[in-house]
Amino acid sequence: MGLLYRVTSPPGRTVAGSWRGARRAEPAMAPRANGRGAVMGHSALATVGAASIQRLVDSITDLALIQLDRNAVVRGWHAAAEALTGYPASEAVGEPITLLYTDNDVAARRANADQRAATETGRHEFRGWLVRKDGARFWASVTFSPLRDDAGNPEGYLSVIRDLTDDRAGELALLSIEQMVDAITDYEVIRLDPDGVVRSWSEGARRLKGYSEEEIVGRSASLFYTEQDSRAGVLSREMETAARAGRVEAEGWRVRKDGSQFWCNMIMSPIRDAAGELLGYVRVGRDLTDQKEQTRLLQRQREEILELSTPVIQVWDNVLVLPVIGTLDSARAARLTESLLDRIAQIQAEVVILDISGVPAIDTDVAQHMLRTVEAARLMGTTSILSGVRPETAQSIVHLGIDLGTLRSRNSLKDALQLALGLVGAASSDRVSFDA
Amino acid sequence: MSQLLDNPNALTTPILGESDLLRIRSALRAEAQNVGMGLTAATKLITAGSELARNIVRYAVDGRGEVTIERIRDGDRHGVRVVFRDAGPGIADIDEAMRDGFSTAGSLGLGLPGTRRLVDEFAIDSEPGRGTTVVIAQWSR
Amino acid sequence: MRDQVPILRMGNDLLITLQGDLDDATVEHIEQVVTREVARASAAGALIDISGLAVVDSFVARVLARLVAMVRLLGAEATIVGIQPAVAITLVELGVPMGHVRTALNAEQGMAQLRGVRDESTSR
């Protein structure tokens, strides 16, 4: 006997099998008296034998197919329905479908609403908790479809019930992940689709970028990039790299909702399904603007310390002395040259005295560095004098074959100063004699 | 040469002619500023970049080549890395070209020794017929 | 910018200001203007101010050297002024020979230097 149809062969006799007939016969469902197999509802299967329909229904094991009359009372049951709900047909048939509902739903007259919806729309589905015979709950999908006779009059409903317990576990897992993500407030954790459109947002993202979930979901992530970076296609290159390499890390200035910028450190990974298809990207980002500021401050401090250890002394209006103390590593040497040239520009120095009495031993590196400093100073119009050249130093310089060129040198600072003042003095006396 | 991640912030642009030199200098200045590079180090980097780019314009086939500019990081050190690639004639004797006699960057040769002195890291790979790749890097002090 | 090479006359000297991006066409134009003006003014000296150039690579350095040579051929003395500290360091490390190029910190010192040179040569 089929699910949808109650087929009777000889009148009055119901076919035994998985389809149990109604205990309380409803007049409208009584077999017709014409003797032939009466089929209710759909005449299309009139020629199909009752046995094969029965087999069809029996073969359906993962769905419960339940026939209900107009009052939503169970009229048709089968093995799968018993397996799912725990009620044998003898206990289910004749009971209203609310037998399976939770007390809450019964109280809310849910069944009425479901029936009405089904009648109006032709099919109604809801997801909710149902209760088995042993009281255990399970998450189910329940659909109601109205059944009509040949004339189109409603005769009852077909209810299909599917156990969603497995699916539900997945839904719950997703919910807790979302809650977890929202609990992270220092980092933004967001999801983009393969085109870079924001699909999910988080509390951390809202704090970082200023957009609320409603404002940003569905819009492109290129909103977060500066105009320059947008034009350069930085976002698409990041996505392309993530998809190709499995991960990308990038830093750069990003833009908040209010237009302000922050230095962002971001990691992006692709999300793929079991088949390896790209579903989108997950981005984790944080604001490093403070760290950047700190690094800059640290650098400035370091430079200041270096500067203190290589002081440039102004001894006359346009004369500077640079006492070179200790050994020179390349960082100190570079810093030395920079600060000297800056001071030259600052006070418009004409002469600079490089005093090397504090340098223990002269070698080609030190000499080369000094000569370059002297030449750079000359490009800025400054004459240099080397002072503090000790007897040992004089020997080393010649032995090493270092050519000082036109660089003048003196043994003592005093002599060098005298020379310097003479040079400066000579220039100014020249100026005095001009007419122009 | 310092290691770096596959960097999506790297910008590769073609070098076709003189007009690209200004653009490259501006881009280098911007990135140097981004990593907090001092004025002297930045000026050296930009000058080195200008030299190498000009070599491509002058000697590469139809002046064709490309440059990639990217920020690099090593712990809390930040820097800028620049890669110059060209399909030019290549250098027959790299040792000779790199010989450091404090020689001129000028009409005689490519000025590579001088360019090398300006930057913290320098690497060159070239073969006649295969073109030349020069990679330089400058860290912010 | 191509049409504008600021040239200021200061007594017998010219103050020429270079700025912006120097491509081949601009350089040619500058050379034409400078030589023309030096000749026209019978200038005794030319100060080439490059304080506006943040980057001077070997190409620009050679441009400057050539300008100086052209000015000298016209019987005038030339001085480069306004080389920035970072540029000075870079030029030295680059190894561009600037030994024959007279330099001064700024226009004022350059002017003084030119007069000093002139006085020297006239007093002999």
User: Measuring CA to CA, how many Å separate A387 from each of A341, A393, A409, A423, C78?
Assistant: 18, 11, 6, 15, 31
Task: With respect to residue B5, please indicate whether it lies within any of the assigned structural domains.
Answer: no
**Residue A295: its chain B contacts at CB < 8 A?**
36, 76, 78
- The mean per-residue pLDDT over the stretch C96-117 comes to 87
Share in percent of chain C as helix, strand, coil (round to 5) = 50, 15, 35
User: Measuring CA to CA, how many Å separate C118 from each of A65, C46, C69, C108?
Assistant: 114, 13, 18, 15
**Residue A250: its chain B contacts at CB < 8 A?**
7-9
Residue A36 has pLDDT above 90, yes or no: no
DSSP string of chain B, one letter each residue: -------TT-EEEEE-STHHHHHHHHHHHHHHHHTT--HHHHHHHHHHHHHHHHHHHHHSGGG-EEEEEEEEEETTEEEEEEEEEE-S---S-HHHHT--SS--SSSSS--HHHHHHHSSEEEEEEETTTEEEEEEEEE--
Provide the domain count of chain B: 1
Sheet holding C45-49, edge to edge: C7-10, C13-17, C45-49, C77-81, C103-104
**Domain ranges (residues) in chain A:** 27-163, 180-287, 310-432
The pLDDT value recorded for residue B104 is 39
Do the domains at A27-163 and A310-432 have one common CATH topology? no
**Residue C84: its chain B contacts at CB < 8 A?**
43
The pLDDT value recorded for residue C121 is 65
Judged by CB atoms closer than 8 Å, whether chains meet at C103 and A427 is answered as no
Residue B134 has pLDDT above 80, yes or no: yes
The pLDDT value recorded for residue B103 is 42
**Calpha distance B65→C4 (Å, rounded):** 32
Residue C43 has pLDDT above 80, yes or no: yes
Given CB atoms, is B85 within the 8 Å cutoff of chain C? no
Judged by CB atoms closer than 8 Å, whether chains meet at A430 and C109 is answered as no
Token reading at C7 = 């040239």
> Which tens digits make up the pLDDT trace of A204-253?
899 999 999 899 999 999 999 988 888 878 898 889 888 988 888 888 88
Which class does domain A27-163 fall in? alpha beta
Determine contact, residues A158/A4, Cβ cutoff 8 Å. Answer: yes
Token reading at C79 = 């001085």
The topology (CATH level 3) of A310-432 is: Transcription Regulator spoIIAA (3.30.750)
Q: Among A139-148, C31-40, C87-96, where is mean pLDDT lowest?
A: A139-148
**Calpha distance A240→A43 (Å, rounded):** 58
Judged by CB atoms closer than 8 Å, whether chains meet at A427 and C88 is answered as no
Task: For residue B71, give its domain range.
Answer: 11-139
Residue A47 is given by DSSP the state G
Determine contact, residues A355/A322, Cβ cutoff 8 Å. Answer: yes
SS3 A275: coil
The pLDDT value recorded for residue A31 is 40
User: Measuring CA to CA, how many Å separate A334 from each of A329, A341, B118, C23, C58?
Assistant: 9, 11, 11, 31, 21
Judged by CB atoms closer than 8 Å, whether chains meet at A234 and B9 is answered as yes
**Residue C58: its chain B contacts at CB < 8 A?**
51, 104-106, 111, 114
CA A259 to chain centre: 20
Determine contact, residues A328/A336, Cβ cutoff 8 Å. Answer: yes
> Which tens digits make up the pLDDT trace of B28-87?
999 998 888 989 999 999 999 999 999 888 877 776 899 999 998 887 788 999 999 988
- The widest CA-to-CA distance across chain C, in whole angstroms, is 43
Judged by CB atoms closer than 8 Å, whether chains meet at B19 and C87 is answered as no
**Chosen CATH of A180-287 out of 3.40.50.150, 3.30.450.20, 3.30.1330.60, 3.30.450.190:** 3.30.450.20
CATH of the domain at B73: 3.30.565.10
Given CB atoms, is B39 within the 8 Å cutoff of chain C? yes
Judged by CB atoms closer than 8 Å, whether chains meet at C103 and A433 is answered as no
ipTM above 0.85 for this complex: yes
**Calpha distance B28→B31 (Å, rounded):** 5
| Higher-confidence position of A104 and B24 | B24
CA C20 to chain centre: 15
**Calpha distance A249→A251 (Å, rounded):** 7
Task: With respect to residue B6, please indicate whether it lies within any of the assigned structural domains.
Answer: no
User: Pairing between strand B131-139 and B77-86?
Assistant: antiparallel
The pLDDT value recorded for residue A179 is 76
Q: Using CB atoms within 10 A of its CB, is residue A44 exposed (0-12), middle (13-18) or buried (19+)?
A: exposed
Predicted TM-score (pTM) of the model is 0.62
For residue A24, name the pLDDT band (cuts at 50, 70, 90): very low
Task: With respect to residue B2, please indicate whether it lies within any of the assigned structural domains.
Answer: no
Token look-up 């990974």 returns: A269
Judged by CB atoms closer than 8 Å, whether chains meet at B8 and A232 is answered as no
Q: Among A259-273, A320-334, B112-126, C42-56, where is mean pLDDT lowest?
A: A320-334
Residue A312 has pLDDT above 50, yes or no: yes
> Which tens digits make up the pLDDT trace of B95-125?
888 876 544 344 456 788 889 999 999 999 9
> Which tens digits make up the pLDDT trace of A290-303?
877 777 777 777 77
Domains of chain C: 7-123 (3.30.750.24)
Determine contact, residues A281/A191, Cβ cutoff 8 Å. Answer: yes
> How many inter-chain contacts (B to C, CB under 8 Å) are there?
70
SS3 A372: helix
The pLDDT value recorded for residue C2 is 46
Sheet holding A74-76, edge to edge: A74-76, A63-69, A154-163, A137-148, A124-131
Which of B80, B59, B85, B60 shows the shortest CA–CA distance to B70?
Answer: B80
- The mean per-residue pLDDT over the stretch C22-36 comes to 89
The pLDDT value recorded for residue A49 is 62
Residues in chain C, total: 124
B9, B39, B74: best to mutate for the A interface, most A CBs within 10 A: B9
DSSP string of A216-227, one letter each residue: HTTSBGGGGB-H
Given CB atoms, is A207 within the 8 Å cutoff of chain B? no
Long-range own/partner contacts, residues A244-250 (CB < 8 A, 24 or more apart): A245/B6, A246/A270, A248/B5, A248/B6, A248/B8, A249/B5, A250/B7, A250/B8, A250/B9
> Which tens digits make up the pLDDT trace of A340-385?
999 999 888 999 999 988 887 888 888 888 899 999 999 999 999 9
User: Looking at chain B, which subunits does it touch, using at least 3 CB pairs closer than 8 Å as the criterion?
Assistant: A, C
Which of C76, C84, C98 shows the shortest CA–CA distance to C15?
Answer: C76
Helix axes A330-347, A364-379, angle to 10 degrees: 20
Determine contact, residues A6/A53, Cβ cutoff 8 Å. Answer: no
Determine contact, residues A127/A139, Cβ cutoff 8 Å. Answer: yes
SS3 A61: coil
Residue A15 has pLDDT above 90, yes or no: no
| Higher-confidence position of B138 and A14 | B138
* C residues 83..112 contacting B (CB < 8 A): 84-87, 89-90, 93-97
The pLDDT value recorded for residue A326 is 64
Residue A404 is given by DSSP the state -
Mean pLDDT, all residues of chain B: 83
Judged by CB atoms closer than 8 Å, whether chains meet at C119 and A433 is answered as yes
Residue A14 has pLDDT above 60, yes or no: no
| Higher-confidence position of A177 and A196 | A196
Query: What percent of chain A is predicted at pLDDT more than 70?
Result: 81
Judged by CB atoms closer than 8 Å, whether chains meet at C94 and B111 is answered as yes
Residue C99 has pLDDT above 50, yes or no: yes
Token reading at A344 = 């030259």
E-strand stretches of A236-336: 248-255, 261-272, 278-287, 313-316, 319-323
Given CB atoms, is B106 within the 8 Å cutoff of chain C? yes
